Amino acid sequence: MRQQKIVAFLLCAIILAIVAVTFVLLSKTPANNVLLSYTYKVVKIYPHDQNAFTQGLAIEKGFLYEGTGLWGSSSLRRVDLETGKILQMRSLPYEFFGEGITIFGNKIIQLTWQNQIGFVYDKQTFELLQNFSYPTEGWGITYDGKHLIMSDGTANLYFIDPETFHRVGQVEVRDGNMSVQRLNELEFVKGDVYANVWGEEKIAIINPKTGQVKGWIDLTGICPQAKQNPNSVLNGIAYDEETDRLFVTGKLWPQLFEIKIRQK
Ligand SMILES: [Ca+2]
């Protein structure tokens, strides 16, 4: 009888220990998260205008669309992917510092940095169709098929109705419990938002529903020819849904890269 009690006591102790260890492990693991690390393989290198201060990048039917920044040299461009040749360009007035761009149907949307004004253009002619305003800075923008998704240099992503330009939601982007600041150029890729983080050679892969970072793409050293200029940083992601190709470039980079990502 005494032996049975000891065995029962030991069993209870073991079960309690297992429960306690499981609880500790779970409490240290961010919600539903296995953070994935990716590296890259360059598939092809294309020429890129090394005077383009790239702030927004998109691709459709083999044409690159690029928004550039700086006062006095901000522009919207249609670029031939293979040659890097500028096929069409619209310059912004001097007082506007261009930021992210995205394609929405037969329109192109372009943000400005501190002007709090976005521009809507006809995709073919680059004719200015309308302006809209927003209450923060403008950094990156992409389109998920339903909403425009915008960054403003903080850890927030804002969801915007593409017809009314009203904000209809926002999420804070977090890596585990840490908020991820300085979100910059964006791209919607197969249900996720890819985001450049300003000043870093890595891209966050974000679940736009929760804001949780699912993984990081480490692009360290991808452009050895980048100018020795602190402003010449990775910024520009374009995904071609039709051909499942991913492109990246940077501000003032002489090259644009088609990459495949793979888990480390
Ligand atoms: Ca983009």
- pLDDT of 135 above 90: yes
User: What's the CA-to-centroid distance between 57 and ligand 1, angstroms?
Assistant: 4
Extract the tokens encoding 86: 């500028």
User: What's the CA-to-centroid distance between 7 and ligand 1, angstroms?
Assistant: 63
pLDDT of residue 24: 45
Distance CA(58)–CA(13), nearest Å, equals 59
- Per-residue pLDDT band for 17 (boundaries 50, 70, 90) equals low
Cα torsion at 228, 232, 233, 239 (round to 10°)?
Answer: -130
User: What's the CA-to-centroid distance between 229 and ligand 1, angstroms?
Assistant: 22
End-to-end C-alpha distance for the chain, whole angstroms: 56
Distance CA(90)–CA(160), nearest Å, equals 25
User: What's the CA-to-centroid distance between 148 and ligand 1, angstroms?
Assistant: 12
Distance CA(95)–CA(115), nearest Å, equals 8
User: What's the CA-to-centroid distance between 149 and ligand 1, angstroms?
Assistant: 11
User: What's the CA-to-centroid distance between 58 and ligand 1, angstroms?
Assistant: 5
pLDDT above 90: percentage of residues in the chain? 84
33-263 has CATH 2.10.109.10 classification = no
User: What distance lies between CA 40 and its chain's CA centroid?
Assistant: 16
Residue 256: Cβ-neighbour burial (10 angstroms; 0-12, 13-18, 19+): buried
User: What's the CA-to-centroid distance between 74 and ligand 1, angstroms?
Assistant: 16
pLDDT above 70: percentage of residues in the chain? 88
User: What's the CA-to-centroid distance between 1 and ligand 1, angstroms?
Assistant: 73
pLDDT of residue 11: 53
pLDDT of residue 102: 98
Distance CA(128)–CA(3), nearest Å, equals 87
Amino acid identity, position 224: P
Summarised one tens digit per residue, pLDDT across range 55-113 is 999 999 999 999 999 999 999 999 999 999 999 999 999 999 999 999 999 999 999 99
- The answer to whether 88 touches 79, Cβ cutoff 8 Å, is no
User: What's the CA-to-centroid distance between 94 and ligand 1, angstroms?
Assistant: 23
Q: How many Cβ atoms sit within 10 Å of the Cβ of residue 137? A: 18
- The answer to whether 175 touches 187, Cβ cutoff 8 Å, is no
pLDDT of residue 30: 47
pLDDT of residue 160: 98
User: What's the CA-to-centroid distance between 142 and ligand 1, angstroms?
Assistant: 6
User: What's the CA-to-centroid distance between 230 and ligand 1, angstroms?
Assistant: 21
User: What's the CA-to-centroid distance between 100 and ligand 1, angstroms?
Assistant: 7
Summarised one tens digit per residue, pLDDT across range 238-256 is 999 999 999 999 999 999 9
φ, ψ at 4 (rounded to 5°): -60, -40
Summarised one tens digit per residue, pLDDT across range 26-63 is 444 445 568 999 999 999 999 999 999 999 999 999 99
